[in-house]
Each structure stands twice: as structure tokens, then as C-alpha cells.
């Protein structure tokens, strides 16, 4: 579903405004608009408000809005009842174990992207986590690397790697089932799929095995989050589409800068 939690579940960005106005400063290809009359009015009234505005390229907005509407209904009428039923049957401790298991399997994605970005300490951390969690953590179902050795998971992906080397996000895309993305992160998604050991299931088990495993991982992840990440963004918003686009864009900018 649109719950792209594997990429941006930790949306920790402050509220901002998406604009299509003129710009005078560029961060990558996301632009900060020049001061306009509204800003001047705010300053003249001595109101202590800081407005952080990002400019997002959205040339296919009608298509994106239509897909967002589809994804939103899919979440509320399909995915939400499904994860609620799953929560009722599977205890939280077991769901956290499943999350740890999938995270452990996907270590190569994070490891190689750390290497690609020159984050060699992070790559070493991922190797240590894999060794500890696969052995002491009983196949990765628990995370003793974090609990006892304070080794944190390195959330690196190929979209961040491309951004690190200067590739701009280009324009925003809302994908059916997958949710918010952009041209750079779509390419990055393909790269991560190639590095993901779960993809091998399609070659050695069934063409649909990796899709099923990834779908179950997403369902399990959302069941732990209880839909709060997505709902806290779209439900209070005047324009849920813009709110989701903005949260996604700023979160990706933040991750690339880290």
C-alpha cells in the first residue's frame, strides 16, 4: 500500500509549506522561495514565525492526485482492517520479532549503501549487527546487537546514495500501492531490490514469493506502527496530498544530509 514505511516511517520533519512560486535559493533541486509580500507582512507585524517552504516539482500532479486517492482508499478500506485483524491474532512481541527478522535479512542493502557513500564505520556496524543478531539473536528474530552492544541499524538506501552524489530528486511521483516517491528514489528503489536477498525468492521459489514476503513485511511493519505515521500526516491536513508530499520530500532531504 502507500505505506512506504521501509523508506520514511520515521518522518521527523517539522511542518512546512509546499510552494510553486518563484525561487532564489536551491538545495539540490528543491528550492526555497524568495521573500514575497506575505513574508513582509508577517515581519512588519513582528510575529515570531519561521516559515520553511520547499518547492517540489510536480508536473504530473493530476495523475499523482488520482493515484493518491486510490492509495488512500486502499489504506482505509483494505489495509487498515487487514492489519487490525492481524494485530488481534499475532502478539506484539511476535510482530517485533518478525520485523527484526526481515531487517536482518536486508542487511546487504544497508551494508552496500554505506560502502557506496563512504560510510565505512556504518558498513562495519552492519556486519557486526548481522553476525550478532544471526547467532545470539536466533536467526535475527531478536536484536541483541542494539540491546546489549548499542549498535544501531544504519538506515541507508540507494536513493540516499544517489542524492549523496548530487543527483536531484527531479519530479514527485505517487506510485500505486507503493506511495510517495520521486524519480531519484524510484531508481534507488530498483537498486535496493537488486541488493535485497528477498528478491532471490523470485528466482528459486516462485515469481511471486518475493512480492508476498515484502507485502507481509509491510503489513507487519504497519501493524506495529498502527497506521499512526500516515494518519497523523493526512488526517489533520487541509490538503492531505500536499501534506504527504511535503512530509516525504523533507524527510528524504534530511536523510541525504545525514
- The model's confidence at residue 206, banded by pLDDT at 50, 70 and 90, is confident
Place of cell 533541486: 29
Q: Which three cell numbers stand for residue 217?
A: 513485511
Domain tally for the chain? 1
Query: Would you list the DSSP string of the chain?
Result: ----HHHHTT--PPP-EEE-S-EEEEETTEEEEPP-HHHHHHHHTT------EEE---TTHHHHHHHHHHHHHHIIIIIHHHHHHHHHHS-HHHHHHHHHHHHHHTHHHHHHHHHHTT-HHHHHHHHHHHHHHHHTTTTTTS-HHHHTT--------HHHHHHHTT----SEEEETTTEEEEHHHHHHHHHHHHH-GGGGHHHHT-TTHHHHHHHHHHHHHHHHHTTHHHHHHHTT-SSHHHHHHHHHHHHHHHHHH-
In the chain, % of residues over pLDDT 70: 79
Average pLDDT over residues 235-246: 96
Q: Is the pLDDT of residue 129 over 70?
A: yes
Q: Is the pLDDT of residue 7 over 90?
A: no
- The model's confidence at residue 17, banded by pLDDT at 50, 70 and 90, is very low
| Structural domain of 109 | 5-257
Average model confidence (pLDDT) for the chain? 85
Q: Does pTM top 0.85 for this prediction?
A: no
- The model's confidence at residue 222, banded by pLDDT at 50, 70 and 90, is very high
User: Quick one: pLDDT at residue 71?
Assistant: 98
Average pLDDT over residues 202-208: 86
Amino acid at each position: 500500500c502507500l505505506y512506504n514505511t521501509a523508506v520514511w516511517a520515521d518522518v521527523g520533519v517539522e511542518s512546512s509549506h509546499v510552494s510553486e512560486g518563484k525561487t532564489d535559493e536551491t538545495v539540490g533541486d528543491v528550492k526555497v522561495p524568495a521573500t514575497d509580500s506575505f513574508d513582509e507582512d508577517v515581519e512588519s507585524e513582528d510575529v515570531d514565525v519561521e516559515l520553511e517552504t520547499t518547492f517540489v516539482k510536480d508536473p504530473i500532479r493530476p495523475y499523482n492526485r488520482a493515484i493518491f486517492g486510490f492509495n488512500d482508499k486502499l489504506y482505509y478500506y483494505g489495509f487498515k482492517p487487514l492489519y487490525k485483524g492481524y494485530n488481534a491474532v499475532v502478539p506484539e512481541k511476535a510482530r517485533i520479532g518478525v520485523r527484526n527478522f526481515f531487517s536482518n535479512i536486508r542487511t546487504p542493502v544497508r551494508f552496500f549503501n554505506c560502502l557506496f557513500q563512504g560510510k565505512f564505520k556504518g558498513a562495519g556496524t552492519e556486519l557486526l549487527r548481522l553476525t550478532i543478531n544471526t547467532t545470539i539473536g536466533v536467526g535475527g528474530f531478536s536484536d541483541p546487537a542494539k540491546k546489549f552492544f548499542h549498535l544501531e541499524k544504519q538506515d541507508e538506501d540507494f536513493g540516499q546514495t544517489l542524492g549523496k552524489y548530487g543527483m536531484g530528486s527531479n519530479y514527485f511521483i505517487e506510485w500505486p500501492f507503493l506511495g510517495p516517491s520521486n524519480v531519484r528514489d524510484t531508481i534507488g528503489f530498483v537498486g535496493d531490490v537488486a541488493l535485497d536477498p528477498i528478491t532471490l525468492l523470485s528466482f528459486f521459489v516462485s515469481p511471486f514469493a518475493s512480492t508476498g514476503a515484502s507485502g507481509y513485511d509491510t503489513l507487519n511493519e504497519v501493524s506495529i506502527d498502527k497506521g499512526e505515521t500516515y494518519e497523523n500526516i493526512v488526517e489533520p491536513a487541509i490538503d492531505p496530498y500536499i501534506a504527504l508530499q511535503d512530509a516525504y520530500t523533507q524527510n528524504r532531504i534530511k536523510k541525504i544530509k545525514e
